[in-house]
Structure 1
Amino acid sequence: MASYTYDSIELGDQNSLGCKCCRFSYGIDLPIPKNLPIDEIKSHAAAFSTSILKDWTTLNAIVKRFEATIQKRWVKKSSKQKRDILLTAWPDMANTHRPDFIGFRSVLKTAPRSRTLPSAAFLWPYINLEDLQQRHLLLIFLNSRGRNLPETFVTGDLRAAHRGEGWKGTDASPIEECFHMAFNGQHTPRTYGWPVPCDSISCTRQTIWHDTQNGLLVLEIQQRIYAFLLACTKLILHDINPGQYLLAPHQPCPPLPQALCSEWPSLSAHMLEMPYRMPEKPDVNRLKYLVSARRAAAEDHIWLLREDPGYFVENLREWREHDQDSFKHQCPSGWRMVARNMISDAFTYFRYWDWIYRRLAALPPVNQQLQRANYNTLHLAKPHEQVWTELTVVVEDMISFSVMQLSNGLRSSPRLRHIYSAAAIKHHQKLTDSERRVDVLFHAIVNEDKRKLHGLQPLVQEVQYMLDTCPEASQLVDSWLLRQYSDLAMLSELLTRIEGFVPWSTGWLANSVLCSKTVRDNTGQLFDMEVKLRLAFDDLFADTNGVGAMLSDSSDGRFDHPATKRLTEATVNTMRFSEAGLDTFWAALEAGVKAKTKYSLINMIERRLFQPRKLYRTPKWTPPLVEEKGTQPLQKLDANLSSVRSKTAIPDVVTPAKTKTKIKTRGIAVPENDIINTSSPNQSASTEQAPSAITIKVPKRAYKVLSALLPTGSADSHQRAEIALEELLQAMNTIGLQPEKLYGSIWIFMPKSKDNCTADEKQKQYWIEVSRSIQFHEPKEVRRGSKIPTNMVRTFGRRLKHAYGWEGGMFVCE
């Protein structure tokens, strides 16, 4: 197809074109804008706008009258019939998902002299057979484009195009151009996208102006889309007289069909539909659920680092494996530097996610924001716009930090370090397709120039597509890297939602460059505290006689914590010894930070807790009671064992005082008015526990999972059982927490609404009313058929217990 908007390499004969990998990385094949005279721009604009509005008028008439018929016929067609229709309407349509990225998926093949891909792959990456042959995507595409004016999709079409260098930003001001184009509110061929001289721009911002480069590009994109959709409808309605397109009566809009998929909802599936749907306003409530779950995970992570020696050592070893300096030198000080990175990273994410959550919590729903907006200047109310501006600034800063973490761990990752070893680089070791693909994609993410060229969100989506469709490449990305990628993907998704709030985002995106004093002050406090904490951590862990001296190779056993083993006197003593060592370390660290920065880490955590919590410390070993001959059987012997695992925290060096006798029952619950005891890790708080008044009957399948996550007293003293991931998802869905797969390894469980439940679910009443979501990381080994290991089962259970107050014995089998 001839292009009027952009230049491209057609049958290039340059010797420097290189392989597909290099061409993708440096954007050699990407379209670059043409410099056209104004007369030619006007000629193309008139032709494009006339074609767009003519085709849209016909498509709109057909959709209003025959959409239900189109849906029925399309769903019944076979894959071959769908393919024939698509190829007839769009000859030479790309075969695979995101054809603009196909140039490096098989990177060992040398690119020919001609172009690697046709130009259409870059401007219409969502037009491909793999996606559109599905039963619902073309129907969504027809519904959105046929029932809404073309001006609705201008910004989305520009953002979806994969362009090279030289293009102005989609929100760039055209003041430096001699001419500009307007789309919103323009409904005739002589006004829709028509070049207007700069000196005729009115002072009002009610009209969104685009420079001629982007304006002409969006006209070319839309002209091809509407011609394609109109051709598809005519081929599907091949037996209907074209005269009926305007004469048949209007029909109600039918519900859109859903994807035929037995799997759980996923963000990947949702993002797959985005180019075909109406542009969405940011759902503030959904963003709150996503951010609150990540913020709660960051809180739990810090708490477990302070509370559980086994969790502390497990994370420390993972960070050691992905620390490039300690991996190279293997020096004793490596453990100190790794601990510094691990702890500072934990506090950074906790504080940043908490900050973002509190800003989102202060925002009302979008509809209420629009009621107070100024439609003449296209600005939200000042308080709302200020919050969005602060969110943009902080999320962008977090993305930079997350990219740095991912870059640091990539080259020293155990499964990838052979690619970057000196011997491999020296001898130009030949890599497999999967290894090269992982290297090229992640390198494009961590490299700032390539990230700007290809866009962070498209790169994140392509990584997820690789993880989902290429098992060999997926196995190269271990759990640590996957967690870092998951954080980056969530931040990218958050920033995409914020910037996609057009046209209102134009105002605060300009303010984020030249922030107001209020925005600088609010975000500056966060950044200043971050700098001070990192400097304090650097000094403390560099001191070989201070906090850093308490850490050494974990093989010395000082942090051994056999919490998942059966409780005996030996295991209890080992656990108490390791917990005392961890308490000493944190006490020294907290005292050092407070002396250097005047900040208290404990107060920093306490002020941000969702609800009170306290450290758990293993009590001293108490031998189980032995039943004497001739006496009645002991009642509730398992309660004595449960007391060993209760929440009562007892100091390691103080003999526990005699406590009041209380009745031990199944389903122990902690009262809500418990006193927080986090002022010192070595202090303890003993609270009297009361039996849970709530008992919920669940199916046997869900009961097995919930009893493993939340064991009763006697079961808690034994080794935890492993759980299959699918069983965990089914159990959480049964009790009212809808699983959804986010990017990377994150599974989020969102509270269901009883208004949307099925009749069977309403009758059985398994659901529990909760007001917050929670997220878990899927273990990497689960993808190879393994189950969730016992240590993670224990961690998941403790997090559920704290988040929702659930106790062992609360769930019973129906």
Structure 2
Amino acid sequence: MLSDAYANLESLTELHRQVKNLSILQQKLHKEILPNKDLPKEYFVSLLRFKYFLEQTAKGPLNKLKVAVPASPPMRKFFVREPPVDPDSTKIFVRSRPGFKMEKVEQQLIWLLRTLWEDDYTLFLVRVPNVVDELERLLQAEPKADARISARVAKIIGDLAIVTQSLKQLELYQPWAQQFEMASADHVEGFKAQYTALQKPVAQLHAAFLQKDLDNAARLAEPSGGKFTYPYSKRRTKETADALRQAESNLDMFWAKVDDVTKARVTNFEDTALFRLLSQPRILRRTVEWVEPTKAKEKTEPALDQDLWALNRPLSNLFLDQPAQIPQRFNAHDFQSKVKTKTKGGPSRTSNNNDNVEPSDATKPEVFDAQPIFSVDARALRVFRTLFFNPEVTSTPGSIPWGDFLHAMASTGFQIEKLYGSVWQFSPTILGIERGIHFHEPHPKGKIPFEVARRHGRRLTRAYGWFGGMFVLKEKQ
């Protein structure tokens, strides 16, 4: 699981870097890009490199399908495990269950999935983008086929579809796309060396994770004794607060061991996307110590600190071994006193009077400028009250229907587009921000669990600086 997550991060970060470089080259050389002429060499080679990296990246989800599909509960009855040839081998071989009758839709589904993971001559002829397109059509048209796809398999298909859709766009880049296959042969060795260099940190981590380097971390991750019991959905009391804090502390110790292995086994770790991600000044939410509520005649104050920043501390401290710092505080009323529309690609920040900022200030929490207030209907307001934490709410919000989530995001000016698999893209249209965000549609029930909804809320906070106080009920006309 760790290896897969780290490998995806490195691969997608590199693909994103190449896409940005292609965009720059296209703008720079647009006068030389003519249908009746060959592409400029620098731009042409960059396209070939991008195509090669996409093809290699697609192999990851294809290999995952081979393991995940037969093991998934909805598909398990169609397969049987073969006896191991070597009793000491860790390899598992499965095959189709003989004599098992399948409906026509199930036969079509398994044929498409098997064609993808076997990666043989059939896939070479049909081509991956076409198989993924047909798989997506089948899942949308046939509820019985969709019911056979577990949440994990749907996510793998979504990841694969993003890569294959990029390959399909390259195939449509005519008339030059006709030359890609032949021209790639002259550069494939160089591309292979570059891709191998990119995957070197991932290979080092994978080797470390398969050996005994993670034994200490594995012992810390052993869940016996309720070490990771996390009663997040229960009403806050001293007992639940202590259980939350204990689980968070145990999880911190586990990740500290994983980080030790990562830093020790990966050469030039500072050059990896993983290092750049974990060294960012991001915020880690933590449960505050329980404070007994003071009894008042009129109203009992909540036992939680009203300052939401008291629940946070910099995430990078866990990774970089920096001393913990007191989070910056702000007045919640300031958010409604001033509305400033952001014009750049990320949440804008308040200016600092001192231009010579100390390096350690980079780990302090970001304080966002005032955000606009969104007036939404009751249906959308219920969604946002579930997405964002409010210490004054003692009841536990329920799950969010996916349709309600789409409605809420649309009511705040997002353009919504379904991509492939379970992936949906949300693009802001009125916030003055170009950055979009992806969310996975819950599968198969169509409702976002409470815990997942809170993760969505934290992602919206990191991306756009949103918080619960930004959403109010629209007045009736």
Distance 1:594 1:659, change over 3 A: closer
Same amino acid, percent of matched pairs: 25
Corresponding residue SS for 1:408: helix
Correspondence 1:798 to 2:461: no
Quick check: 2:313–2:327 contact (8 Å CA) kept in 1?
no
Distance in 2 (alpha carbons) for counterparts of 1:689 and 1:638: 25
Structure 2 partner of 1:16: none
Correspondence 1:430 to 2:430: no
Structure 2 partner of 1:557: 226
Q: How much does 1:803 deviate?
A: 1.0
Correspondence 1:720 to 2:379: no
Structure 2 partner of 1:743: 420
Corresponding residue SS for 2:400: coil
State the superposition RMSD in angstroms. 3.7
Corresponding residue SS for 1:364: helix
Q: How much does 1:805 deviate?
A: 0.8
Structure 2 partner of 1:709: 387
Structure 2 partner of 1:452: 124
Distance 1:576 1:502, change over 3 A: same
Spell out, residue by residue over 1:609-650, the C-alpha distance to the aligned partner (whole angstroms, 9 max, x if none): 7974132222222223332x4xx868xx46954447744339
Structure 1 partner of 2:18: 359
Write the letter of the residue equivalent to 2:372: I
Correspondence 1:734 to 2:411: yes
Q: 1:694 aligns with which of 372, 390, 408?
A: 372
Write the letter of the residue equivalent to 2:449: P
Distance 1:690 1:733, change over 3 A: closer
Q: How much does 1:444 deviate?
A: 1.3
Write the letter of the residue equivalent to 2:254: F
Structure 2 partner of 1:576: 245
Distance 1:579 1:457, change over 3 A: same
Structure-to-structure mapping, 1:484-563, within 5 angstroms:
484-515=156-187, 519=191, 522-540=194-212, 545-552=215-222, 554=223, 556-563=225-232
Distance in 2 (alpha carbons) for counterparts of 1:421 and 1:720: 41
Distance in 1 (alpha carbons) for counterparts of 2:295 and 2:325: 23
Spell out, residue by residue over 1:665-688, the C-alpha distance to the aligned partner (whole angstroms, 9 max, x if none): 5969996689xxxx9xxxx97759
Distance in 1 (alpha carbons) for counterparts of 2:119 and 2:281: 41
Write the letter of the residue equivalent to 2:211: D
Distance in 2 (alpha carbons) for counterparts of 1:639 and 1:813: 27
Structure 1 partner of 2:312: 648
Structure 1 partner of 2:266: 597
Spell out, residue by residue over 1:351-402, the C-alpha distance to the aligned partner (whole angstroms, 9 max, x if none): 11111111111223757644223766x4322332232122111110011111
Distance 1:603 1:440, change over 3 A: closer
TM-score (norm 2): 0.79
Structure 2 partner of 1:769: 432
Aligned residues: 435
Quick check: 2:383–2:408 contact (8 Å CA) kept in 1?
yes
Corresponding residue SS for 2:283: coil
Structure 2 partner of 1:789: 449
Distance in 1 (alpha carbons) for counterparts of 2:238 and 2:148: 42
Quick check: 1:618–1:649 contact (8 Å CA) kept in 2?
no
Distance in 2 (alpha carbons) for counterparts of 1:603 and 1:427: 47
Distance 1:572 1:672, change over 3 A: farther
Structure-to-structure mapping, 1:65-84, within 5 angstroms:
none
Correspondence 1:778 to 2:441: yes
Structure-to-structure mapping, 1:84-103, within 5 angstroms:
none
When Rg is computed on C-alpha atoms for both structures, the one with the higher figure is 1
Structure-to-structure mapping, 1:117-266, within 5 angstroms:
none
Quick check: 1:643–1:713 contact (8 Å CA) kept in 2?
no
Spell out, residue by residue over 1:728-782, the C-alpha distance to the aligned partner (whole angstroms, 9 max, x if none): 1122122221111111111111233xxxxxxxxxxxxxx3222211111111133
Spell out, residue by residue over 1:474-528, the C-alpha distance to the aligned partner (whole angstroms, 9 max, x if none): 1111100010011111111111111221222344443433317764554342132
Distance 1:507 1:453, change over 3 A: closer
Structure 1: runs of 5 or more not aligned:
1-341, 753-766
Correspondence 1:419 to 2:78: yes
Corresponding residue SS for 1:463: helix
Corresponding residue SS for 2:291: coil
Distance in 1 (alpha carbons) for counterparts of 2:327 and 2:203: 46
Quick check: 2:281–2:364 contact (8 Å CA) kept in 1?
no
Corresponding residue SS for 1:428: coil
Distance in 1 (alpha carbons) for counterparts of 2:239 and 2:147: 38
Distance in 1 (alpha carbons) for counterparts of 2:279 and 2:434: 12
Quick check: 2:427–2:434 contact (8 Å CA) kept in 1?
no
Write the letter of the residue equivalent to 1:379: D
Quick check: 1:457–1:493 contact (8 Å CA) kept in 2?
yes
Q: 2:143 aligns with which of 456, 471, 475?
A: 471
Distance in 1 (alpha carbons) for counterparts of 2:369 and 2:30: 48
Distance 1:660 1:533, change over 3 A: closer
Q: How much does 1:442 deviate?
A: 0.7
Q: How much does 1:404 deviate?
A: 0.3
Q: Which moved more, 1:402-411 or 1:598-607?
A: 598-607
Distance in 1 (alpha carbons) for counterparts of 2:119 and 2:325: 60
Q: 1:380 aligns with which of 30, 33, 39?
A: 39
Distance 1:517 1:524, change over 3 A: same
Write the letter of the residue equivalent to 1:444: T
Corresponding residue SS for 2:385: helix
Quick check: 2:162–2:420 contact (8 Å CA) kept in 1?
yes
Q: How much does 1:344 deviate?
A: 0.7
Q: How much does 1:470 deviate?
A: 1.4
Spell out, residue by residue over 1:27-70, the C-alpha distance to the aligned partner (whole angstroms, 9 max, x if none): xxxxxxxxxxxxxxxxxxxxxxxxxxxxxxxxxxxxxxxxxxxx
Write the letter of the residue equivalent to 2:165: E
Distance in 2 (alpha carbons) for counterparts of 1:562 and 1:645: 21
Correspondence 1:441 to 2:123: no
Distance 1:649 1:462, change over 3 A: same
Structure 1 partner of 2:235: 566
